[in-house]
Amino acid sequence: MKALRLVFLLLLISCTSITEEIYLNSDGSGEYMVYSDVVSSSRDMMLGMMSSIYPDASEDSLRQVVEAQIWADFPAEVDSIIDFTSRVPDSVKNDPESQKYLDKMEMFMRGSKEKGYLNSGMSYKFDAVKDLEDFLMFLNQNQAVGSGGTVGTDVPNLNVKYSFDGSSFSRTTQMEDFLDMSDSTAMMLNVMLQGAKSRFIVHLPRKAKNASSNQLVEQKGKDVIYEFELLKVINGEQSSDVKIDF
């Protein structure tokens, strides 16, 4: 499994934490989702700017102003599917092998002021965990933007593998070397990902019996939640491997 860059691209775009969710069925099929809260990221960015402009204002008052401005653009609940096909090159859309992934992939935006979030991200329905691995490989190889083709990014490589045998699920990850990482890019990455978290939520077909303790946040019924610090994962200081028996 080669580089999984989607997670890092989302982080660079949102400048905030991300969540990955996997819904597993008893036969190993399921749905994968990755998303970030665009309201949270916009709020943090705007608060930073406004606090420098109005240094005497309290954080609470600035937060109220900022959140009112953000939610003014989203007065009602949002539950939308985003058409991403215009950003996919014809060479990819017309390829039967690629089409099987595109047909099961959706870009979405969901949330509301009442719910307190507005998540923007992607989902993919997989037939088996190997199908999910292949899909993530496909994303890595086809990072389409507009009609120009693909994007070259010098972000780190995260090799990810999944395993499912009907009574256990695991994810193993390995951070490879940076790709042509210049000093300026490394500095930007450290600034943008400072404090960023990666939450990994697994929804099992049955109640979890045992979950690996590495960065475990909660094990409740069929749901298991982990949370990792992105900079530590990137720097090789924190493993993001998980194993769950059910």
H/E segment holding residue 161: strand 158-164
What per-residue confidence (pLDDT) applies to 237?
Answer: 84
Tell me the residue type at 196: A
What per-residue confidence (pLDDT) applies to 201?
Answer: 98
What per-residue confidence (pLDDT) applies to 141?
Answer: 67
Tell me the residue type at 109: M
Contacts of 219-225 with CB under 8 Å at 24 or more apart are 222/246, 225/199, 225/200, 225/201
Angle at 15 between CA 49 and CA 74, to 5 degrees: 75
Length of the chain: 246
What per-residue confidence (pLDDT) applies to 88?
Answer: 75
Tell me the C-alpha distance between 173 and 158, whole Å: 7
Classify each residue of 7-39 as buried b or exposed e, where b means 16 or more C-beta atoms within 10 Å of its C-beta.
bbebbeebbbbbbbbbbbeeebbbbbbbbbbbb
What per-residue confidence (pLDDT) applies to 152?
Answer: 37
pLDDT along the chain (246 residues), means of 10: 40 65 97 89 74 83 84 87 78 84 91 90 94 84 44 53 96 68 65 79 98 96 94 83 97
Tokens of residue 183, six digits = 């000093």
Other residues' Cβ atoms within 10 Å of the Cβ of residue 196: 20
Q: Which ranges of the chain would DSSP assign to H, the alpha helix?
A: 6-14, 38-53, 59-71, 90-93, 96-102, 129-141, 183-192, 230-234
Residue 180 to residues 9, 139, 165, 206, Cα–Cα distance (Å): 16, 20, 38, 44
64 φ, ψ (degrees, to nearest 5):
-65, -40
Tokens of residue 128, six digits = 């088996």
Tell me the C-alpha distance between 231 and 187, whole Å: 12
CB 246 within 8 A of CB 167: yes
CB 222 within 8 A of CB 188: no
What per-residue confidence (pLDDT) applies to 26?
Answer: 97
The closest alpha carbon to 106, from 71, 135, 145, 67, belongs to 135
**pTM across the whole model:** 0.79
The closest alpha carbon to 203, from 18, 19, 22, 20, belongs to 22
